[in-house]
Amino acid sequence: MINKLYLLLIILIIVTGLFLRTNGLDQSPPSLGFDEAALGYNAYSLLKTGRDEYGNWLPLSLRSFNDFKPALYSYLTIPFIYIWGLNATAVRMTSAVAGTASLIFLYLLLKKYIKNKWLLVFIFMVLSLEPYRLHFSRSAFETNLSAMFFSGGAYFLLTVKNKFRKILSVLFFGLAAYSYHSARLSAPLLILLWAFDPIDRLRTNLKFDWSKLVPLFALILICIPIFVMNNSSLLLTRFKQENVFNRFYPYAPKEILSPVSFVYYFTGIISGHLFSYISPINLNFRIYDWVKMSPQFIPGMGMLGWIEGVVFLFGFVFIVGNILKSFNYRFLIYWMIAGIAPAAATWTWYHPLRSLNIFPAIEIIVALGFWQIYLRFKNKIFVIFTILLFLLTIIFTINNELKYSAFENNGEYQPGGYKEGMPYFASISNKYSRVIIDTPHAQGFIFFLFYTAFDPATLHKFADIRPEPGVEGNLNFDFDKYVFRKVDWPQDNKLTNTLFWTRTDITDAEVNRIPGAKIQKRVWNSLYETASIITTE
Amino acid sequence: MIFGYPVSEQQLEVLYLFGINGFVSLWILRLLSLILMIFVLKMWKSIFYKFKFSNIGWYSSIVLAISPLIFVLILVYPLVCVKLLIVAVFFQKSLKNKYYLVVLGLILILFNINILGNNPAIFNKLDLQDAQNEVTKRISAEDSVLNSIYLPLAIRRASYNKLFISYKQILGEILPFFDFETIFFQEINPLMQKSVVMFYWPEVYLFVLGIFALFKLKNNKLFNFLGGSIFIAVIDYVFSEGSSYLRLVLVVFPLSIIIAFGLNHLVEMTRKYHVISIVALTGVSLFILMGVGTSFYDLNVRPDYWLDNRPIAFEFWFKEISKLNIDQYNSVYVSSLVGDSKKYCYFYLGVKCNDKRFVFKSFDLSKERVLNAVYAGFAGEFVGAKLKNDIDVDWETNSIAKIVNKISLRDTIANQYGNDIGVGIYQ
């Protein structure tokens, strides 16, 4: 009976997780970001033509905004687009399902570390609804898909007993590498650390079992096509743009620059990048500028709940203190190191998106922290009070993600208005010989393509006129009768038979005094008026 | 030059209390602060003799002694040195009776509020008014979103109520205590926040090793002492305000013990001729030495980057005023936007400040002015404040007073009034 109740609770947590991840995917976040739109449109293009938006046949990397996104997310999105059409729900569903599937691995991993059943249920419930788990599952993030596969790979690696588990581990790590760049470094590094177990090796002189490296070679073999089928120098475009050497050189403040300070500051920056992922304030509360100005921003919360960052510290102290006692504890440290490595090599101090693979490890350390606290404070009142506070925090987190973030996340990275206005805009566009789209967004064209479900085969014909690989920033390009540029109404009102998608500061009076010009629609996003659809005869 | 850093507000308070001024008294005060700090470190070291860890006492004291924070406290914050002495005395007492820690907590709260004049933000969170405002703001924000997901009001209300939001806000006051960036990585802090180096970044590795070494030891008495001292540091942090390094000052002590254990462990490993530990100890020691050199050199080259810019402003104003023959003028206005200019005046000019021509308050020359007067203040006081702090670079050409001298401060210490300060004459 108790076992059935326990199982029922676990299933209930997963089902609730699925509901909260899939409910209202087109309402919160209220609009797609440009990366989401790109993943969706490429999936649509693959579905219709077997080619990406540039006309590349079944690519492993999507050129997209010249950032060469791993293509697996788009491939997995194809069935949802086939069923529901090209819309936000279909594009985000892959991430939502991956987020739910990752709960299964989270549970399996927790089971390895926490032996008290009811404590495990409580911890699993809390962790399954961490702010980051909800947030990253409700937007189309390749990194969320990758993190799910990475968790699976890590679970099978930790529990490896036979060849089958080894194969599963390599397979999951391989899928993680095909889903997001950072896993291409993290996965082999974790296998290497797992094989060598360097912390234990410091005190023992055991002979190394070279057969342990077989999974590593297998993973490298699996990943070879990523580099062979693409120009590998282009695959490193993102790294070239973001690496730490690029941004911080020469590291030390110019007033005190010397060879000594150069070395001191550079190693300090790299160490700081590593330790920023275990700084509790970063995990639970602090929001850096580069996080706030991106789709990974969770209003008012860090990746974990407020208390969990401090509980993490208890767990961290516990595993460091007991690091020689169990390989399971060392594995968590190896997981953290492997997961942080790709992010630490970039210029940003703390970047959750690039290091999402480590968060399951962080959560297990939080779970161990909970366990340690529970062992010291078994007092009934304390336990009831804690459960109550966590339940309320979970409700706050759900509210925050489903409702409040829809208010906060309007803007550059979630630009609204296209969803509301583009279907109408597309429906009248065939009446006009010229279409001008004025968008403040660097990649505004992708919203047009996405929300009008523009025919991919037609788009492929213009692949040659698009900005070359290596070009960064604004990648808008003109094709067919569509022009992407700023509208200068005093000049552009002279154009005839033209359809405009433009800003809202062009007044009714300015339009009405031009013969044949008409404001067809003022478009609202979820908060305010954001665009105007104007026509001239 | 760091030793030329001017008198701080805290030093001024002490000197003013005793009715003395001038640079000799300032240096006597700094010397007293140094003696106090030596006492603190000595007492701190002696605590570990009682634990029978004499090495740890030494290492911990060395870690503290080389910290730029301790140097800055001696140089600038005499009252904080007194606070540390009180803490050291009570830590010693707490070894015999843990209730001394409770008393210490209360004393620290009173000290911060009454002696240091802090107004901790936590009090605003406790009266629920801020929570009420946040609940209203959140609900109305959510309701303004068109086509949003439906959630029953009862569920929203479960967490959107004064009590829960107040709990959230109180956590918001406590959680920044757990900030590795400020504690270990101030030299390269990504937030560009105004703070002082507490520990050199290589010490973070010793900190992790120290946790491991402490666990091996399994000394409950020491654990309790460490837990107690961290708890006191949290209390002090929550019931204080101001720069993060001053609020976090007490956590430096327990962390220095953990670092000391790490160092001790590494030293013991080298005695076993463990190659990696010899390399690690050499590496960490070299990097710490580099840190000491780099940080103190930096502190010397850029005191205005690390330390409060307000004393620098007052020093500039009064040095410029002292060059003028003030008997020629009807009034001398000195800005009080960033501190009590009268007290600073007594320090720099002595009894001259009793002259009725001295006016110690903020002014706005774009609105009202006195003929034949000297004005010392921020650019915004000469040409009018700007909401976005974007005062013109050539503001002195727009000033109706003739600017005698001006400098630019590194930090914005008077928002809306610009970063330039000057002394001008209106005739």
* pLDDT digit string, tens, across residues A66-87: 888 999 999 999 999 999 999 9
Q: Tell me, yes or no, if B137 comes closer than 8 A to chain A by beta carbon.
A: no
In chain A, residues with a C-beta closer than 8 Å to the C-beta of B190 are 272, 276, 288, 349-350
The per-residue pLDDT for A238 is 67
- Judge whether A505 lies within some domain: yes
- Judge whether A324 lies within some domain: yes
CB B88 within 8 A of CB B228: no
Percent residues over pLDDT 90 in chain B: 82
The per-residue pLDDT for A248 is 65
The per-residue pLDDT for A52 is 95
| Number of domains chain A is built from | 2
Please determine, for residue A251, whether its predicted confidence score (pLDDT) is greater than 80. no
Domain limit, last residue, from A358, A388, A408:
A408
> Measured in Å, how far apart are chain B's first and last C-alpha atoms?
36
The per-residue pLDDT for A230 is 65
Put simply, the answer to whether A272 touches B188 (Cβ < 8 Å) is: yes
The per-residue pLDDT for A232 is 60
> In the structure, what pLDDT confidence band is assigned to residue A231 with cuts at 50, 70 and 90?
low
Upstream peptide bond of A253 is cis (omega within 30 degrees of 0): no
Helices (H) and strands (E) in chain B, counts: 21, 5
User: Can you give the residue range of the structural domain that contains A370?
Assistant: 2-30+87-408
DSSP letters for A398-444: HHIIIIIHHHHT-SSSS--SHHHHHHHHHHHHTT-SEEEE--SSTTH
Task: Give residue-wise pLDDT tens across range A339-386.
Answer: 999 888 888 889 999 899 999 999 999 999 999 999 988 888 999 999
One domain, residues A132 and A266? yes
CB A118 within 8 A of CB A74: no
One domain, residues A137 and A204? yes
The per-residue pLDDT for A440 is 79
Task: Name the H helices within B250-367.
Answer: 252-271, 275-301, 303-306, 310-323, 341-349
One domain, residues A104 and A225? yes
One domain, residues A204 and A175? yes
How far, in Å, CA of B270 to CA of B90, rounded? 36
Q: Tell me, yes or no, if B188 comes closer than 8 A to chain A by beta carbon.
A: yes
Whole-angstrom CA distances from B107 to B52, B84, B99, B101, B207 are 29, 12, 13, 10, 29
Of residues A84 and A3, the one with the higher pLDDT is A84
Ranges of beta strands (E only) in A432-517 are 434-437, 482-484, 498-502
Residue tagged 């008198």 (tokens): B7
Put simply, the answer to whether B180 touches A313 (Cβ < 8 Å) is: no
Q: Which of A101, A189, A209, A192 is nearest to A147 (CA)?
A: A101
The per-residue pLDDT for B90 is 95
- Judge whether A112 lies within some domain: yes
Domain limit, last residue, from A376, A408, A440:
A408
Q: Tell me, yes or no, if B292 comes closer than 8 A to chain A by beta carbon.
A: no
Q: Which of A292-301, B11-20, B173-182 has the highest mean pLDDT?
A: B173-182
> In the structure, what pLDDT confidence band is assigned to residue A51 with cuts at 50, 70 and 90?
very high
Please determine, for residue A162, whether its predicted confidence score (pLDDT) is greater than 90. no
Residue A254: how many CA atoms within 13 Å on its side-chain side? Answer: 0
Q: Which residue of A lies nearest to B177 if distances are taken between CA atoms? A: A281
Nearest to B291 among A264, A269, A408 (CB): A264
Query: Torsions phi, psi of B259, nearest 5?
Result: -60, -40
One domain, residues A154 and A189? yes
Q: Is A226 exposed, middle or buried (0-12, 13-18, 19+ CB in 10 A)?
A: buried
How far, in Å, CA of B347 to CA of B315, rounded? 10
The per-residue pLDDT for B127 is 85
Average pLDDT over residues B197-210: 97
The per-residue pLDDT for A292 is 87
Put simply, the answer to whether B185 touches A272 (Cβ < 8 Å) is: yes
Nearest to A28 among B149, B164, B212 (CB): B149
Average pLDDT over residues A500-527: 93
One domain, residues A388 and A463? no
Please determine, for residue B48, whether its predicted confidence score (pLDDT) is greater than 90. no
How far, in Å, CA of A32 to CA of A295, rounded? 10
Q: Which of A9, A4, A5, A1 is nearest to A107 (CA)?
A: A9
- Judge whether A194 lies within some domain: yes
How far, in Å, CA of A196 to CA of A209, rounded? 9
Per the structure block, which two tokens stand in for B332? 């001398």
One domain, residues A384 and A426? no
Neighbours of A233 (CB within 10 A): 11
Please determine, for residue B50, whether its predicted confidence score (pLDDT) is greater than 90. no
Task: Give residue-wise pLDDT tens across range B309-356.
Answer: 999 999 999 999 999 998 999 999 999 999 999 999 999 999 899 999
Estimate the share of chain A in helix, then strand, then coil, as percent rounded to the nearest 5. Answer: 65, 5, 30
One domain, residues A435 and A466? yes
One domain, residues A430 and A345? no
Average pLDDT over residues B36-46: 94
Please determine, for residue A246, whether its predicted confidence score (pLDDT) is greater than 90. no
Q: Tell me, yes or no, if B149 comes closer than 8 A to chain A by beta carbon.
A: yes
One domain, residues A441 and A391? no
Per the structure block, which two tokens stand in for B257? 């013990």
One domain, residues A424 and A335? no
- Mutation for testing the A interface, residue in B180, B230, B277, B278 having most A CBs under 10 Å: B180
Structure-derived torsion over alpha carbons of residues A135, A278, B172, A383, reported in degrees to the nearest 10 = 80
The per-residue pLDDT for B29 is 96
Task: Give residue-wise pLDDT tens across range B96-109.
Answer: 888 999 999 999 99
CB B364 within 8 A of CB B384: yes
One domain, residues A255 and A399? yes
Put simply, the answer to whether B175 touches A253 (Cβ < 8 Å) is: no
In chain B, residues with a C-beta closer than 8 Å to the C-beta of A395 are 155, 158-159
Percent residues over pLDDT 70 in chain A: 97
What average pLDDT does the structure give for chain A? 92
Please determine, for residue A411, whether its predicted confidence score (pLDDT) is greater than 80. no
In chain B, residues with a C-beta closer than 8 Å to the C-beta of A403 are 142, 145, 148-149, 151, 156
> In the structure, what pLDDT confidence band is assigned to residue B154 with cuts at 50, 70 and 90?
very high
- Judge whether A39 lies within some domain: no
- Judge whether A65 lies within some domain: no
A36: which residues sit within 8 A by CB, 6+ positions away?
A88, A91, A92, A139, A140, A295
Query: Torsions phi, psi of B235, nearest 5?
Result: -60, -45
Of residues B235 and B277, the one with the higher pLDDT is B235
Q: C-alpha angle with apex B155: B151 to B160, nearest 5 degrees?
A: 105
Q: Tell me, yes or no, if B172 comes closer than 8 A to chain A by beta carbon.
A: yes
Nearest to B178 among A272, A280, A393 (CB): A280
What average pLDDT does the structure give for chain B? 93
Q: C-alpha angle with apex B409: B404 to B414, nearest 5 degrees?
A: 95
A253: which residues sit within 8 A by CB, 6+ positions away?
B298, B302, B305
Bridge partners (DSSP) of residue A435 are A482, A499
Q: Is B340 exposed, middle or buried (0-12, 13-18, 19+ CB in 10 A)?
A: middle
Please determine, for residue B418, whether its predicted confidence score (pLDDT) is greater than 70. yes
Q: C-alpha angle with apex A456: A450 to A460, nearest 5 degrees?
A: 125
Lowest-pLDDT choice from A185-199, A462-476, B274-288, B357-371 = A462-476
Q: Is B371 exposed, middle or buried (0-12, 13-18, 19+ CB in 10 A)?
A: exposed
Please determine, for residue A295, whether its predicted confidence score (pLDDT) is greater than 80. yes
Q: C-alpha angle with apex B69: B213 to B65, nearest 5 degrees?
A: 60
Domain limit, last residue, from A381, A408, A435:
A408
Average pLDDT over residues B106-134: 93
- Judge whether A321 lies within some domain: yes
DSSP letters for B149-217: PP--HHHHHHHSSHHHHHHHHHHHHHGGGS-HHHHH-GGG-TT--S---SS-TTHHHHHHHHHHHHHHH
- Judge whether A209 lies within some domain: yes
Put simply, the answer to whether A271 touches B201 (Cβ < 8 Å) is: yes
